[in-house]
Amino acid sequence: MYDILVIGTGPAGYTSALYSARYNLDVIQVGEMPGGLISEAPEVCNYPGFDSISGMELGDRMEEQVKDIGAEVVYDKVEKIEGDDQDFTVKTSRDEYRAKKVILATGQERRRLGLERENEFKGKGVSYCATCDAAFYEDKRVGIVGGGDAALASALLLSDHAEKVYILYRREEFFRPEPIRVEEIEQEEKIKPVFEVNVKRLIGEDKLEAVELDNSETLEVDGLFIEIGSTPNSDLAEDIGVELSEGGYVKTDEDRRTNIPGVFAAGDVIDSPLKQAITAAGQGAEAASTAYEDLKKEEVR
């Protein structure tokens, strides 16, 4: 039996595992993708220690550090959590693990537009990761749906490859952007913002060829990148009775305990206002520290 099982392999999960291992606890970390959602970030410029680093590289470095200190990392899909404090069983698609404490660091997932043929065109013009797919659109025309910092960062990355980049946004101005991002967008001739529009229809035969907007305009594009935010991966938490917010985020106290004894949570899945890699990492440290304190108290009893 492990002392701590961490579910999730993003900044919160890696930091939880790192701190747990440094407390000399027997820890295993289970997640589906190295780095979690941060691995899709084209560029991370606000993580201490790095002027600029890709999200993928940042995730890789976190993974390497966690493994070097002795934590076990497994890539698998967690399907169910059973049991209670001091004896949880976590079932994955290939195995099952027992642990005294569980830290939920399951993060968020990308929102979809919900359009007809969206799934059909996924990988054939529709993408949710500019970092992964930008190079496929060398000298082509692409659109980005969204108006936040993630959308602007993706637009800048795509402008290094594409002939033309349209930012398609439903509001009349970008949503709380970093001023430096807006300056960079304005200075890049390849990028054209189109405000107060929604994508109404995806057009193409075997692959995406154009998008129809709700202003009756049709744009010929080879690719469409969706950057409209995320939803919390809180189904596992809900299934074991963890209290959620109205938006589906996990509620914790200031020490990252949930209402279920032995279950802690950290990162983008919790009900906190700022969703950043650095805040997720801090919450992961808090969750691991609290779990360690609880384990030590239980040893004394």
- Are 222 and 194 found together in one domain? yes
Between the alpha carbon of residue 248 and those of residues 64, 78, 117, 136, 255, the distances in Å are 31, 19, 27, 35, 20
As annotated, the active-site residues are 129, 132-133
For position 301, what pLDDT does the model report? 67
DSSP calls for 122-183: BTTTEES-HHHHGGGGTT-EEEEE--SHHHHHHHHHHHTT-SEEEEEESSSS-SS--HHHHH
Domain span including residue 205: 126-226
For position 150, what pLDDT does the model report? 87
- Are 234 and 96 found together in one domain? yes
Last residue of a domain, one of 226, 261, 284: 226
Q: Are 55 and 38 in contact (CB under 8 A)?
A: yes
Output the domain CATH number for residue 172.
3.50.50.60
- Are 139 and 162 found together in one domain? yes
For position 165, what pLDDT does the model report? 98
- Are 198 and 235 found together in one domain? no
- Are 138 and 99 found together in one domain? no
- Are 148 and 194 found together in one domain? yes
What is the full per-residue pLDDT of the chain (301 aa) written as tens digits?
999 999 999 999 999 999 999 999 999 999 998 998 888 787 888 899 999 899 999 999 999 999 999 999 999 999 999 999 999 999 999 999 999 999 999 999 889 999 999 999 998 999 998 887 899 999 999 999 999 988 999 999 999 999 999 999 999 999 888 899 999 999 999 999 999 999 999 999 999 999 999 999 999 999 999 999 889 999 999 999 999 999 999 999 999 999 999 999 999 999 998 888 999 999 999 999 999 999 999 987 6
Residue (of 247, 239, 234, 255) closest to 273 by Cα position:
247
Domain count, the chain: 2
162 occurs within a structural domain: yes
CA atoms within 13 A on the CB side of 101: 28
- Are 247 and 210 found together in one domain? no
- Are 104 and 235 found together in one domain? yes
For position 45, what pLDDT does the model report? 84
Q: Residue 89 pairs with which residues in a beta bridge?
A: 82, 98
- Are 6 and 106 found together in one domain? yes
Residue type, 284: G
Last residue of a domain, one of 165, 199, 226: 226
- pLDDT, one tens digit per residue, over 56-93 is 999 999 999 999 999 999 999 999 999 999 999 999 99
- Are 168 and 259 found together in one domain? no
User: Model-level pTM?
Assistant: 0.79
